[in-house]
Structure 1
Amino acid sequence: MKKRPFSPEDLYRFKSPGGVQVSSDGQYTAYVVQRCDQEKDETLTDIFITNNTTLASKQLTFSGKESAPAFSPDGKRLAFISSRSGKSQIWLIPIDGGEAWCLETKEAVSGPLVWTPDGKHIIYSAEVFSQDRQTWTPYPGAPDYDRERLAQLADKVHRKNTKDENEEDKKANEVKVITRFHYRHDGEGYFGHSRRQVFITPVPGAPVLDWKPQSRQITEGDYDHSSPTVSPDGKYIVVSARRTDTADYDQKSDLWLFELASGRGHLLYDAPGPCYSPKWSWDGKYIAFMGHDSKFSVSTTTDLWIIDVSQYLTQLQTQGESQPLTADAAQNITRPMDRPVGGAGSEIGFRGGASITWQGDRLVFLMCDRGAGGIYQVVPGGETQALLVDRALSVASVAAGQETIAYIASAPNQPDELYLLREDPVPVTQLNTELMAGITLGDWEEFQYSSDDGQPIDGWLLYPADFDPARKYPLVLLIHGGPHGSYGPTFMFTAQVFTAQGYVVLYTNPRGSDTYGQEFTKWIDKNWGDRDYADVMAGVDAAINRGFIDPERMFVHGWSYGGYLSCWIATQTNRFKAICAGASVTNMLSGYGTSDITLADEYEYGGQPWRDYEHLIKHSPIGHVSNVDTPIMLMHGEGDLRVAPSQTEEFYIALRRLGKEAIMIRYPGEYHGPRRLIHRLDRFQRLVAWFNYYRDL
């Protein structure tokens, strides 16, 4: 078969697995497959199931609107979320196939779905209006009609994916009234006066075609609750909850326990910082969770923790109340390793799986080291063991059942696929095998270099398929976002697009990247544009010293924080022929308060405009914009709530006012990163055309 080069249009051809779940007996693995529909300009998701013994797979759903599969305790049914009817609802289907039916609820359902151990109920989350509709007022002096209007508006916002909009909806007064410090989230929009609550619904043993909603709300109050996990005896759930008056002003969340029969809530663990993704052990004695011990820092390493809840439950059952556990009761499992718990990121996949899961008396989890995600376990007695660690691949999500571990992983030359962890990895999916067999890819290598102060830095080089070290090649430097993200041995779509065009691609993990330990990650806190800039430029020099890079044809691209550093590079050096920066922070002063993560920005940037003016402008590209001599393309989503589009507008107008060469590309309706396929394709095509033009001058 004749092979062809990789192309931006391959975006439409890739399929990605995600949402992996293993039945409790380990016999089956369920997962979601995401594919692209170019004609409809949308991604579609369906659920598949595989027999872990025979590896025979079957597609269970076909509407393209499914997610979050969850096996029933007996392993005979799957619950999942689907928006096929217009609103996100729970659906059920036998694992051997057949007709799915809707377990209707009044609320638009969010995952994960959690079965009670007896298989008679499902627990889920939903965004709902959480005020008293009779007495609530948004602020003193608000007009009376606001009370019901804002409640109805919240209801409408959270009828997610509803297609049918009636005439009353179109005429509704949708004026937003903002009274909270945290009132919107990128990718979701303005959430108004609603909160995430946890619900429970009964599940009949057989389909009921005229089923009426019977769900019951478990959590209450003007607080957010998420990530429910149920006790093995089915009496309690534990959730991650932000039930403090300062919830909008810090990251702290606690673990709360709710009695399923009565709905009574109890503070279980009073955490020093954020804690999330709790998982109850199979014997009911322990709860594992992810988190760290800082209320404010976003650069603190996420660890794996375990608390023993047996005495707490005994006291609760005998006395009706129990003293909350505090920080000294939590065992930090991963602190000695000084690496973050969680899976690797994905450029085009969606993953949607777990990072921690129990397998009998063992706790299986993901942890990233120097950019590569691996699988580990904690065995009885507390010892941590590596199950799968490989510098040539990176694991993104994991699930476990009896004697079975399933995981999703990719490598620089292999897109996401699903595997079973055996003595040798067993592929469950081959979603992209045929596609990749017809594409020519170059080699890749990981290397390490020294920054200007001697600090070791990891980097990766991807080569064109016909690479010849005796020739000179143009270079594209890619910069990751975060800033506390990291690159690793994962499939890089953007990099492959450029190697197919004859570029060598370099990406590195400068200081500030996570997966290298707490000190390395915090190095750039309140000091963007210093060591990070020096580290990436040292990487460029290291690549040039290999002898095959043309220093007169070098380019830079980054998004979010990567966009910031791309703009910063433009103000500090003219070594590059052209730059493309996406969703960039360019002015830390004017950006204050325009992001959905203002408090994180305060910590990262190092201050507030009214107090730290000189510091903020010193570290902002806009403060040095007159130094720019490199042609620069600036991309931004017009609906970005993470980094306001005005950040790009300011930099663009300043550049044009100074007579510099600058182009601004705006993506209508997009948040922090393009979601519509046509916009994602445009980004890649426009990048290639921009760099190729200057490469060939």
Structure 2
Amino acid sequence: MVEKRLLEKEDLFKIQSVSNPQLSPNDKEAVFIKTKIDEKENQYFSEIFHLDVETEKVTQWTFGNERISSPKWSPNGEQVAFISNRNEKSQLYMINKSGGEARKITNLESGINSFSWSPCGEKIWITGSLKEDASFTDQAEKEKEDKEQPKAYIVDKMRYKADGVKGHGLKKQGVHTQIAILSLNDESIEQFSEGTHSHSLYDISPDGTKVIIGVNREEQDDYNFSQPLIMVDVETKEETVLVNHEGYYGGAKFSYDGRYIAYSGSDAAFKNATHSHVYIYDIESGTTQNLTESIDCPVGDYAVADTQQGIDAPSIVWTQANDLYFQLSNLGDVQLYYASLEGAIYPASPEGEHVYDYTVSKDGQFAIIAVSNPTFPGELFVYEIAKGERKQVTHFNDEWLNEVILSKPEPIVYESTNDLQVHGWLMKPANFEENKKYPLVVEIHGGPHTMYANSFFHELQLLAAQGYGVLYVNPRGSHGYSQEFVNGVRGDYGGGDYEDIMAGLDFVLGEETWIDETRLGVTGGSYGGFMTNWIVGHTNRFKAAVTQRSISNWVSFFGVSDIGYYFTPWQIGTDMVDPEKLWEHSPLKYAKNIDTPLLILHSELDFRCPIEQAEQLFITLKSMGKETSFVRFPDNNHNLSRTGTPNLRIERLDQIVSWFEQYLG
């Protein structure tokens, strides 16, 4: 029996992420993706594996240093197509079930974004980026011309940049996503969509005669956030609009018999805090029903975590009997749910866990689900739905789990202001001993419309391994609860949400004698960074704080963030017409009150919460003689903690741990 050790920062390199299960047409085998972080290469690499569902034998199919996504079986089940960046650009590849090397299918200068098999198996529909005057066939030549010399970037719209876009976050001008049809016989490409708008491809009908696309053809899209879903006749190009009003809709999928289309999404009644639902469009009658209208929690996966990579769970999966499966976030769980067209809806997987990816057999008898919980990073299970029985079929993390000591979070429910019930978790230090006192760190998630969940979180486990208790809660504004609850933060940043977090702290201090209330820390990123800034400006109860990718000044955020001009009025309730209100909700206004030693972490290529937010806070605090430090991470965006450069993810964790060690002991 090997003596277990405490978890370390570098365990990020040992945890394997298993995702993208895809059943073959015969439902007897599947492929999936395993992603790991290569410490030597300082990169993320992924591989395709094959699963024999009956024998549970797992076989590795690809072995290169590459990132792979979207594995999809051919209609006859003999090949698997996938997207790989093995030659820098993301191109389409195909591998035969019988063996052999994967073959490169596309060679487009800008690569491809997505693809879907045509039901005939002789064609593949693809999407890719094109300049307005280019086609897929002459794309390479046009792109080379553009690279000859730099050009001025002329801005005439507010939505001109985006976090995560390479370079300086600037979107390519005059470039749009278009749809094309690739013939596998001669690898010729026929362009299907055109114009000056970007198109999404969702599904092809079972008989191959219709496709579902998403496209917004409005010329001025600064304040237009809709993406109409349209069914298009492949031959005539005749269009039938499925939904066309403000909101977020996608994931559209034809039923096996071709009569229905299911899709998920939300209207804009509560802006980006609106619950998502499952909708069914009946092609014969032209009517739409909201299948999940009676459920007061959101369809989809809103969990935050830091080890799962490359997740691409379907929005909805049909069975041949016209039943449906989808994910639903509820009270910190992400479960697989079942629904019938007649209105029956119920959970199809257990509570207390995070189903972060899945696929369902055509007869609906079983699913392959990727499951995580707070002490389990995630593996694949074959799950017999009707029996409620399942068996683990991948074991990539078994050896690692046998090495480390993990802290098991205990769920808590407590009362905040206005008799509001708030849900969260408390972790004891991993080496907990009775009758000893320990420091406590409060962690605050981003969003704010996401949620902490019954899922594995390396950062939280690391703090527990370092001897800290960890409190993490879902204050108002979090998803997974009622529409009223998730909307409760809008227009009230630093109000009820602050009260919820502090009430949670008071609750555990009253219940747990092992917590040393003289050694309290607080940290969070994005919205959690805003709230960390706000907390230390409104109380001195915390002895150390770490703010990450934060908002400190809503006045400047309005103009510098890629989403600032619309996110600010959505969340704060006003814009630059009322800068006084923006300033009232800005942590920077209360900098003079900050006596808590504050570490500021920020990525230099963060265009969601730009680094100037950190710069303002740091210089202000430093000028006032406050205890603070500022760490900048080069070449990384808003997602450093989840998908950032591996060595800088380790450095980030080291900075957090070192700061708390210095001030909390």
Q: Normalized against structure 2, the TM-score is what?
A: 0.93
* Cα distance in 1, alignment partners of residues 221 and 288 from structure 2: 22
1:682 maps to 651
Counterparts in 2 of 1:292-307, with a 5 A limit?
A: 292-294=266-268, 297-307=271-281
* Paired residues of 2:489 and 2:497 also in contact (CA < 8 A): yes
Kept after mapping to 2: 8 A contact 1:373/1:389: no
Residue identity in the other structure for 1:537: M
* Separation in structure 2 between the aligned mates of residue 177 and residue 272 of structure 1, nearest angstrom: 28
Residues 1:257 and 2:234 are matched in the alignment? no
Task: Report which stretch shifted further, 488-497 or 245-254.
Answer: 245-254
In structure 1, what is the Cα distance between the partners aligned to 2:108 and 2:124? 14
Question: What SS does the aligned partner of 2:348 have?
Answer: strand
Q: CA deviation at 1:250?
A: 2.5
Which residue does 1:201 correspond to in 2? 182
Aligned residue identity for 1:489: N
Partner of 2:319: 359
1:485 aligns with: 450
Residues 1:310 and 1:155: Cα distance change in structure 2 (over 3 Å)? farther
State whether structure 2 residue 514 is matched by structure 1 residue 548: yes
Counterpart selection for 1:636 from 587, 591, 602: 602
Q: What is the aligned partner in structure 2 of residue 602 from structure 1?
A: 569
Shift of 1:606: 1.7
CA contact (8 A) 1:370 1:515 kept: yes
Closer, same or farther: CA 469–279 of 1 in aligned 2, 3 Å: farther
Distance 1:264 1:676 in 2: 46
* 1:391-419 Cα shifts (integer Å, max 9, x gaps): 2x111122123243112121111002122
Once the 2 structures are TM-superposed, how far is the Cα of residue 386 of structure 1 from its aligned partner?
1.6
Q: Cα offset for 1:219? A: 1.8
The aligned counterpart of 1:539 is 504
- Paired residues of 1:250 and 1:296 also in contact (CA < 8 A): no
Distance 1:217 1:62 in 2: 33
Structure 1 residues 331, 92: closer, same or farther in 2, change over 3 A? same
Determine helix, strand or coil for the equivalent of 2:537. helix
Distance 1:614 1:41 in 2: 45
Q: CA deviation at 1:487?
A: 0.4
**Are 2:634 and 1:668 aligned?**
yes
* Structure 2 residue identity aligned to 1:196: T
Whether 2:73 is the aligned partner of 1:71: answer yes
Deviation at 1:577, TM superposition (A): 0.9
Residues 108, 353 of structure 1: alpha-carbon distance in 2 compared, 3 angstrom cutoff: farther
Distance across 2 between alignment mates of 1:217 and 1:119: 18
1:386 aligns with 2:363: no
| Aligned partners of 1:398 and 1:407 also within 8 Å | yes
Determine the structure 2 residue equivalent to 1:88.
90
Q: Which runs of 5+ in 2 are unaligned?
A: none
Cα separation, partners in 2 of 1:174 and 1:61, compared to 1, 3 Å: farther
Larger displacement relative to structure 2 (19-28 or 507-516):
19-28
CA distance in structure 2 between the aligned counterparts of 1:425 and 1:247, rounded to whole angstroms:
47
In 2, Cα distance between equivalents of 1:256 and 1:192: 25
Q: CA separation of 1:694/1:439 partners in 2, compared to 1, >3 Å: closer, same or farther?
A: same
Match of 1:32 in 2: 33
User: Corresponding residue for 2:307?
Assistant: 348
The Cα shift of 1:279 comes to 0.9
Aligned residue type for 1:36:
I
Cα distance between partner residues in 2 of 1:345 and 1:419: 21
Q: 1:100 to 1:518 in 2, by over 3 A?
A: same
Matched letter for residue 28 of structure 1: E
Report the CA distance between 1:60 and its aligned residue. Answer: 1.1
Answer yes or no: is the 8 Å Cα contact 1:469–1:547 preserved in 2: no
Q: Give 1:443 shift.
A: 2.7
Residues 468-507 of structure 1: CA distance to partner in whole angstroms, max 9, x if unpaired?
Answer: 3432210011000001111011101111001111111110
* 80-89 vs 546-555, greater mean Cα deviation: 80-89
Amino acid at match of 2:358: V
Query: Counterpart of 2:398 in structure 1: which amino acid?
Result: T
- The Cα shift of 1:458 comes to 0.5
2:90–2:113 Cα contact (<8 Å) kept: no
Q: Kindly state the Cα deviation for residue 107 of structure 1 after the two structures are TM-superposed.
A: 5.2
Aligned to 2:203: 229
Q: Conserved in 1, the CA contact under 8 Å of 2:225 and 2:246?
A: no
CA-CA distance at 1:264 after TM superposition: 5.0
Mapping of 1:452-601 within 5 angstroms? 452-545=417-510, 546-598=512-564, 599-601=566-568
Match status 1:6 vs 2:2 = no
Q: Which residue of 2 aligns with 1:398?
A: 358
Q: 1:184 to 1:85 in 2, by over 3 A?
A: same
Q: Which residue of 2 aligns with 1:374?
A: 335
Q: What is the CA-CA distance between 1:196 and the residue it aligns to?
A: 1.7
What's 1:320 paired with?
A: none
Q: Distance in 1 between matches of 2:146 and 2:260?
A: 48
My pick for the range that moved more, 547-556 or 58-67, is: 58-67
Letter of the aligned partner of 1:436 in structure 2?
Answer: L
Query: Partners of 1:284 and 1:103 in 2: how far apart?
Result: 29
Counting matched residue pairs gives: 644
Asked if structure 2 preserves the Cα contact closer than 8 Å seen for 1:154 and 1:192, the reply is no
Contact 1:153 1:174 in 2 (8 A): no
Letter in 2 for 1:626: K
* 3-state SS, counterpart of residue 11 of structure 2: helix
Output the amino acid matched with 1:521.
Answer: V
TM-fit CA distance, 1:346: 2.9
Which has the larger displacement, 99-108 or 497-506?
99-108
Match of 2:53 in 1: 52
**Distance in 2 of aligned mates of 1:544 and 1:602:** 36
**Matched residue SS, 1:484:** coil
2:125 aligned counterpart, secondary structure? strand
What is the rounded CA distance, in whole Å, between the counterparts of 2:151 and 2:269 in structure 1?
Answer: 34
Match of 1:139 in 2: none
Q: 1:221 deviation in Å?
A: 1.7
* 1:229 match: secondary structure: strand
Matches within 5 A, 1:172-321: 172-188=149-165, 189-193=169-173, 194-204=175-185, 213-294=187-268, 297-311=271-285
Where does residue 695 of structure 1 map in the other structure? 664
Superposed CA RMSD: 2.1
Residue range with higher mean Cα deviation, 90-99 or 553-562: 90-99
What are the Cα deviations for residues 268-290 of structure 1, in whole angstroms up to 9, with x where unaligned? 43234221111111111111111
Bigger mean CA deviation after superposition, 508-517 or 291-300: 291-300
Q: CA deviation at 1:622?
A: 0.7
Provide closer, same or farther for how the CA distance between residues 425 and 109 of structure 1 changes in structure 2, counting only shifts above 3 A: farther
C-alpha spacing 1:295/1:130, structure 2 compared with 1 (3 Å) = farther
2:288 aligned to which of 325, 330, 335: 330
The match for 2:394 among 424, 429, 432 is 429
| Cα distance in 1 for residues equivalent to 2:261 and 2:245 | 13
- What SS class does the counterpart of residue 388 from structure 1 fall into? coil
C-alpha distance after superposition, 1:41-60 (max 9, x if no partner)? 10001111101111111111
Deviation at 1:456, TM superposition (A): 0.8
Contact 2:18 2:378 in 1 (8 A): yes
The CA distance in 1 between the partners of 2:466 and 2:424, in whole Å, is: 21
- Identical counterparts, % of pairs: 32
